[in-house]
Chains A and B, each alone.
Chain A
Amino acid sequence: MNHYDCKYYLNIDVFKGICKRDKGNINADDAACENFEKAQKCKHCSNFSLTANDLGVCMSKYDAYPEMNAVTCNDFK
Chain B
Amino acid sequence: MTANKDFSGSSADVYNYYGTKPGEDIQTREAKKEPTPRAQKERQMYFDSKSSASVEFPYWYTRRWKQLEGEVAIIRRAEALKSGFEHLTPAILPGELLAMRKANYLRGSYPMPWLSEGFFLAKEDELYKEAQKSGKVSADEVTTMGQGGGNVTKSVGNVISIAGKFGLRKEEMPILINTAKEWFNKSVDDVGHKYEQLVPGYNTKEEIMRAVICMFDSGYTLPQGREVMNYYYPLQFGIEGIKNICKEKQDQSAGYPDMDRLYFYKAVFTMLEGLQTWILNYAKEARFMASLENSKDQKEEYLDIVERLEWLSKNKPRTFHDALQLVWIFHVAVLNEDAISGLSPGRLGQVLYPFWKQDMENGHLTKERTIELLECMRMKFTELDCFASMGVVGGVLSGNTFNNLCIGGLDKDGYSAANELEMLIIESAMSCDTPQPTLSLLFDEKLPEEFLLKGIECTKIGTGYPAWISNRVAMDFLLNNFKKEGMQLEEARAWAIGGCLETSPGSWMPLELNGEIYFIPGGSAPATSVGVHFISLPKILEAVLFDGLDKRTGRRVYPAHGSKLESYEEIWTIFKKYFSLTVEVLTLTNNIQHDIWGKVSPSIINSMLKPDCLEVGKDISHKGCRYNRTFNVEICGGVNLVNSLSSIKKNVFDENKISLQELKAAIESNFGYLSALETGSYSLIEQVKKKNYMDWLKIHKLCLDAPKYGNDDKYVDNIFKEWQIWFSKMCENYLSIYNEPLYSCQISVSTHAPMGAVTLATPDGRLCGTTFADGSVSAYPGTDKNGPYALFNSATCYNHALSQNSQLNMKIHPSVVRGREGSRKFLEMIKAYLRSGAFHAQFNIVDSRMLKDAQKNPDKYRGLMVRVAGFTQYWVELGKQIQDEVIARTEYEQIG
Contacts and interface: CB of A to CB of B under 8 A. Distances in A.
**Does chain A bind chain B?**
yes
Interface of A: 8, 10-15, 18, 20-21, 23, 28-29, 52-55, 62-69, 71-73
B174 A54 contact: yes
Given A12-B105, A62-B63, A67 B171 contact: yes
Interface in B123-178: 152, 156-159, 167-175, 178
27 contacts: A8-B292, A11-B91, A11-B104, A11-B105, A12-B48, A12-B49, A12-B105, A13-B52, A13-B106, A14-B50, A14-B158, A14-B168, A15-B50, A18-B94, A20-B292, A23-B94, A28-B169, A29-B157, A54-B170, A54-B171, A55-B175, A65-B171, A67-B171, A68-B55, A69-B89, A72-B89, A72-B281
B89 A14 contact: no
Given A29-B157, A67-B169, A72 B174 contact: no
Contact of A72 (B48, B51, B86, B171): B86
B292 A65 contact: no
A14 B171 contact: no
Contacts of B89: 69, 71-72
B895 interface: no
A67 B174 contact: no
Given A18-B93, A18-B94, 10 more contacts: A11-B106, A12-B48, A12-B93, A13-B52, A14-B159, A14-B168, A54-B174, A72-B87, A72-B88, A72-B89
Contacts of A15: 50, 156-157, 159, 167
Contacts of B174: 52-55, 65
B68 interface: no
Contacts of A20: 288-289, 292
Contacts of B178: 55, 63
B296 to A, nearest CB: 15
B72 interface: no
Contact of A14 (B52, B59, B87, B289): B52
B107 interface: yes
Contacts of A71: 89-90
A13 B167 contact: yes
Contacts of A10: 91, 93
A13 B86 contact: no
Interface hub of B86, B170, B174, B281 (most chain A Cβ within 10 A): B174
B56 interface: yes
A68 B51 CA distance: 19
B517 interface: no
B285 to A, nearest CB: 8
Interface in B58-108: 59, 63, 86-91, 93-94, 104-107
B122 interface: no
B158 A29 contact: yes
Interface string B31-61: 0000000000000010011111101100100
Main SS of chain B's interface residues? mixed
A8 B288 CA distance: 10
The 8 closest A-B pairs by CB, nearest first: A14-B167, A65-B175, A14-B52, A13-B50, A13-B52, A69-B89, A67-B171, A13-B49
B111 to A, nearest CB: 14
A72 B283 CA distance: 12
Given A15-B50, A55-B175, A69-B89, A21 B292 contact: yes
Contacts of A11: 52, 91, 104-106
Interface residues of B, number: 43
A40 B195 CA distance: 44
Contacts of A72: 86-90, 281
Contacts of A21: 292
Nearest to A55: B174
A69 B63 contact: no
B305 to A, nearest CB: 15
A15 B179 CA distance: 23
B175 A63 contact: yes
B467 to A, nearest CB: 31
A69 B168 contact: no
Contact of B106 (A12, A23, A68): A12
Contacts of A64: 175
B292 A28 contact: no
B90 to A, nearest CB: 8
Nearest to A20: B292
A68 B56 contact: yes
A67 B45 contact: no
Nearest to B53: A14
Interface in B321-342: none
Interface string B353-381: 00000000000000000000000000000
B152 A14 contact: yes
Nearest to B289: A20
Contacts of A29: 157-158
Nearest to B59: A68
Contacts of A18: 93-94
Nearest to A56: B175
Nearest to A21: B292
Interface string B104-119: 1111000000000000
A15 B169 CA distance: 8
Nearest to B160: A14
Contacts of B49: 12-13
Contacts of B175: 54-55, 63-65, 68
Contacts of A55: 174-175, 178
A73 B89 CA distance: 10
Contacts of B179: 63
A25 B651 CA distance: 65
A17 to B, nearest CB: 9
B50 A66 contact: no
A41 B638 CA distance: 54
Nearest to B103: A11
B158 A28 contact: yes
A60 to B, nearest CB: 14
Contacts of A65: 55, 171-172, 174-175
A8 B291 CA distance: 12
A66 B106 contact: no
Nearest to A2: B158
Contacts of B156: 15
Contact of B172 (A13, A52, A53, A67): A67
A54 B55 CA distance: 13
A55 B152 CA distance: 24
B175 to A, nearest CB: 4
Contacts of A52: 174
A13 B170 CA distance: 13
Given A54-B175, A55-B178, A13 B105 contact: yes
A60 B839 CA distance: 60
B56 A69 contact: yes
Contacts of B173: 54
Contacts of B51: 13
Nearest to B63: A62
B105 A66 contact: no
A47 B392 CA distance: 39
A28 to B, nearest CB: 7
Contacts of B172: 54, 65, 67-68
